[in-house]
Amino acid sequence: MDGRKRANIKPGTHVNIVQKQDQRTGELTEGYVQDILTNSPTHPHGIKVRLETGEVGRVQEILPED
């Protein structure tokens, strides 16, 4: 699914994000969405979320549920 569309992301969704400090390297952080921080329905660089661990970043990919 597309991480640039807010409608695809809900609290509890399993995602890979890129944090601000990792944008140059592209290092991904895996986790579950706690809060959606982007208000607009789409964003070209990915919807900004807060993970349950407190990390904040933009969704790069939505992972399938187990």
**10-60 pLDDT, tens per residue?**
999 999 999 999 999 999 999 999 999 999 999 999 999 999 999 999 999
pLDDT at 41: 97
Q: Establish if 66 belongs to a structural domain.
A: no
Residues 6+ apart with CB under 8 A from 44: 4
Range of the domain at 13: 4-60
Residue 46 is assigned to a structural domain of this protein? yes
What is the residue type of 53?
T
Identify the bridge partners of residue 10 per DSSP, sorted by sequence position.
none
Domain-embedded: residue 11? yes
Q: Does the pLDDT value for residue 4 go beyond 80?
A: yes
